[in-house]
Amino acid sequence: MKILFVSMPSIHVIRWIENLSESGHELFWFDVLDRGTMETSVQLHQITNWKKRKLPYFNGEHFLRKKIPFLYNIIQSKLEITVDECLTKIINEIRPDVVHSFEMQHCSYPILKTMRRFPNLKWIYSCWGSDLFFYQNSKIHLPKIKEVLHRINYLHTDCGRDHYLALCLGFKGMHSGDIPGGGGFHMEEFKPYSESFDKRRIILVKGYEHEMGRGLNVVKALKEIYTGFDDLKVVVFGAHQSVIDYIQGNKLPFQVYDRNGLKHNELLQLMGKTQVYIGNSISDGMPNTLLEAIIMGAFPIQSNPGGVTAEIIEHNHNGLLINNAEDVEEIKTLILQALNNKDMLQNAFVYNGVIAKGRLDYTVNQQKIVALYHRMEN
């Protein structure tokens, strides 16, 4: 088949596409946000640098786009090449058998108009993070979500929660089954990074603090208790500026990396030295960093929006679930519970290794991905 992927540049998209390296399909990628090329070992036709101006920028255009978007959308095709214009041309030229879009708001909304123009063209959509769970509560986004779900033929989710939500929102097509967002993980490659439990001395915190991330609440909880665990080191990664400012302002002896401070492999190596990993947000899908922490042997403490994390973590067994991402006291209690129960941490270290091999391994998920396109082909 000819498969046309539509997405922003992303490590998760690259990993997904690489699952098809030996499938025999002809692979194309449309950089829908026009952000640049992707580095991959797979033979992939990349369609980038397509957004060209038809007329020069005019005073007030940025204001119009941000403040009166419906009006801007009416005149956009007069000002520049649009997604619809470019994608229509691509489809007419390459005649794909399948279009696969990743993420809803930035990568699937913009192509709906085009996909309606080709009603017989198969469309698969990969649900990411908060695509459905968070935005279903928005009066602006809900109608758009329903329109996309009505048009798509196949749905890929990384958790059962989002499949259920899609059905509630009108999806009537076929479901892929739950597959990690980027496919599986090459666990054999990561083995050298993973240290034995007794050598792990890091508490690792995801430092996102934005519309959905609540890393600052974790830092606040650790501020109150870290002096009681002198043998452990707190490391915060992916930190937004408010988290960095809080750590510096309170003179906390935490090592902190900003959003671009660590490469992906460096983060995995850090996870391989981590005793406890903590991720906290008010909305997410199945967090990829949580899965990475599990395969690297770190004990997870993770928020549970919509019950999604409970699909892989059994509370008090192989991890701990944060019920209220805004409750610093609850987070503090859970951290203390973990650090004071070495038996639970050691048992989880073994049990999560079994989960990783059975559910997260690259080979297991590659077979699911190849089978998904095979079903579409037939």
| Domains defined along the chain, listed by start | 2-184+362-377 (3.40.50.2000), 187-360 (3.40.50.2000)
* Total length of the chain: 378
If you write DSSP's letter for every residue of 35-48 in order, what string do you get?
------SS--EEE-
Alpha carbons 127 and 137: distance in angstroms, whole number: 16
The pTM score is 0.92
Listed range (35-39, 44-48, 69-73, 327-331) with the worst mean pLDDT? 69-73
Q: Is the pLDDT of residue 231 over 90?
A: no
Structure tokens at 264: 């992906």
Compute how many other C-beta atoms are within 10 angstroms of the C-beta atom of residue 246. 21
Tell me the pLDDT tens digit for each residue of 14-56: 999 999 999 999 999 999 999 999 999 899 999 999 999 999 9
Mean pLDDT throughout 130-143? 96
Sheet holding 154-157, edge to edge: 45-47, 26-31, 2-7, 98-102, 122-126, 154-157, 174-178
pLDDT band at 66 (very low <50, low <70, confident <90, very high): confident
Mean pLDDT throughout 118-140? 96
Coil, helix or strand at residue 324 = coil
Alpha carbons 101 and 112: distance in angstroms, whole number: 10
CB 311 within 8 A of CB 161: yes
For 37, 158, 175, 181, the CA distances from 270, given in Å and listed in that order, are 28, 24, 35, 22
